[in-house]
Amino acid sequence: MDEDERDPHRMEEDFYTFLNVPRNATPEEISNAYRRLSKCYHPDKHTDPNLKKDAEILFNRTSKAYEVLSDPHKRAIYDSLGIRGLDTEGWEIALRTKTPQELREEYERLAKEEEERRLLMRTNPKGSVTVNINATDFFSRYTDDYSKDYDDVGIFSAVEVSGMSLTQSIEAPLTLKDTAVLGGELGIKNGVGSGSINFAVRRLVSQRGWFEVEVGAGSGPTLGFRGYRSLTKRIFFNGGTVLRFNPNEITPGFVGTLTMQLDTHTIGYLTCRAGIQSGMNTTIVRSTPQSYTAFSIEFALLRSFVSLSYTHKLEERQLDLKGCVKLGTFGWFVEYGAEKKLSQHTTVSAMVHVGTPTGVSLRIKLKRAYQTYNFPIRLSDDLYPAPVFYATVAPLISWVLLKNFVVDPIIRERKQRDRDKQREANKRIKLEKQREAKAAIDLMKATFSRIRAEEEQRKGLVITKALYGRFVYPHGASPAEEAAIGQRDEIIDVTIPLQCLVKDSKLVLHNASKSQLPGFYDPCVGEDKQLLLQYLFHMQTHECLVKDAEPLRIPKPCMFNNKF
């Protein structure tokens, strides 16, 4: 079963607790625990058909735990990675002498190969949709030329879609090293359409680099070559060349980027372009958990500029505040705005663009998984206060309304749905574990009677009462009041399972959740639990209360000293 198909609410089994041995148990201790449980659960010891069926299930769990913990190789995998490591295919090639760290690295490698195998069965679609909106006529009413006829038409007639573009690509893994990419673009602007299609094959040459060949058609046939290479641990290079075939000539183009890791949070980029848009660009990026800063300088034949952008990250609110200043031979502009993460795969952002000669525009972007939707709205060709004000205030008001009346209700509904799903899953697991615990107790009754008779005869350790779960002390509240406030004990009787764990007048439980012990289950998932014990030792009554994961050893050594 794939990882995604497994029940996310299912508790992982603890083989050590099930056998009631410490995590540093010796092979002899593991064998003794296995033999003790096998005597109780072996199907051949039960003639009742119902008990025999339950015994087979519990005996298989006992055998599985012993199989893993008795094999040093499997035990090392289980200790390092849990059951998910044992379920990973390919461990047969791993050496049995690997250290825990090497086992983790091996697991990551195998998990990566499994992910690659899954990629073979599906594509990876990526795309974007851009809708260009022209709303400059809406603000022309602030000029002196505004006429009365314009009012009669309505404000929405001043808004038009001036262009639209669509890009889409899919990836099809051919082998573990080869990937085919098919992409295309369609666009229309002011009634003129254009489009292109590209096909590329990328090959992973080694862990340090890849190489790609691309052919395309649109405004003319193109042939491109791109590649990436890790030169050192801190220096990387990627670049490529494109040949565009026109009717009378072949136009070449080249772009190459040298990347260098300057320190833990800082990266430098040096980009060189040759062809129609020749130029050089230097960029330094510093990214920390709290901020992102980028500084760029570019010298080119058509345009040169210097830019500075800054992002302040508010992780608790999942909000990024952004700003950018750019000055060049083409003019200048300032951008400011915010990006909000709505969910794990969805973000929305709004940026106000103010500059010369570009004017004023509002750019809204919605990103959902691998799809991006862009809505650049041009508000004014000149710098007027009104469009700047509306571009700044309108997104804030829209977000408040959207958050209060759309986003928050959806989030509350999703959380409630998740809680209901969690509750149903816990209920199902609880019933399953409850049935299994009851079956285990039925199988233990003969062993319980024998051990208790032996302990009573020698005046040893006799468990008179054992309760496990959530104990509530409501400070004098009546049962009716407890029921009204929903605070009632959620406990189960575990007298028989604990008596069966007594050996030589001693009971030892290790520091792990006791819900994994045979005959136990979790009566209140997610709540703090305790174990209440009342027992006789040398005909004297004792009582103790321990937390769920707290180790227990009775009788205590002082009891022996006092007796003898």
Range of weakest confidence among 62-66, 103-107, 417-421, 502-506: 103-107
pLDDT at 119 over 80: no
Mean pLDDT, all residues of the chain: 83
Domain ranges of the chain: 18-115, 123-143+155-382, 425-554
At what angle are helices 100-119 and 72-81 packed, to 10 degrees?
70
pLDDT at 403: 85
Beta 126-134 vs 160-173: how paired, if at all?
antiparallel
Provide the pLDDT confidence category of residue 556 given band limits of 50, 70 and 90.
Answer: confident
> Reduced to 3 states, what is the DSSP secondary structure of residue 503?
strand
pLDDT at 143: 45
pLDDT at 241 over 60: yes
Provide the pLDDT confidence category of residue 122 given band limits of 50, 70 and 90.
Answer: low
Sign (positive or negative) of CA dihedral 461, 467, 470, 473: negative
Q: What percent of the chain has pLDDT over 70?
A: 83
pLDDT at 127 over 50: yes
Residues 6+ apart with CB under 8 A from 440: 41, 54, 58, 497, 518, 519
Chain segment 361-413, per-residue pLDDT in tens: 999 999 987 899 999 999 999 888 989 999 999 889 988 898 888 878 988 89
Look at the domain 18-115 and name its fold: Helix Hairpins (1.10.287)
pLDDT at 102: 59
pLDDT at 10: 46
Mean pLDDT of 415-419: 87
161: β partners: 133
Instruction: Kindly provide the residue ranges of all beta strands, DSSP E only, lying in 124-232, ordered along the sequence.
Output: 126-134, 160-173, 178-189, 192-206, 209-217, 222-230
pLDDT at 93 over 50: no
Which of 562, 513, 536, 392 shows the shortest CA–CA distance to 452? 536
Provide the pLDDT confidence category of residue 485 given band limits of 50, 70 and 90.
Answer: very low
pLDDT at 558: 59
pLDDT at 51: 83
CATH assignment of 123-143+155-382?
Answer: 2.40.160.10
pLDDT at 429: 79
Question: Where on the phi/psi map is residue 154: left (φ > 0), alpha (ψ -120 to 50), or beta?
Answer: left
pLDDT at 284 over 90: yes
pLDDT at 223: 95
Of residues 474 and 383, more confidence is placed in 383
Chain segment 165-176, per-residue pLDDT in tens: 999 998 888 888
pLDDT at 2: 38
Per-residue tokens: 187 = 């666009």
pLDDT at 1: 37
Long-range contacts of 382-391 (CB under 8 A, 24+ apart): 383/354, 383/356, 383/359, 384/139, 384/142, 384/360, 386/139, 386/142, 387/139, 387/359, 387/360, 388/352, 388/354, 388/360, 390/139, 391/352, 391/360, 391/361, 391/362
Provide the pLDDT confidence category of residue 275 given band limits of 50, 70 and 90.
Answer: confident
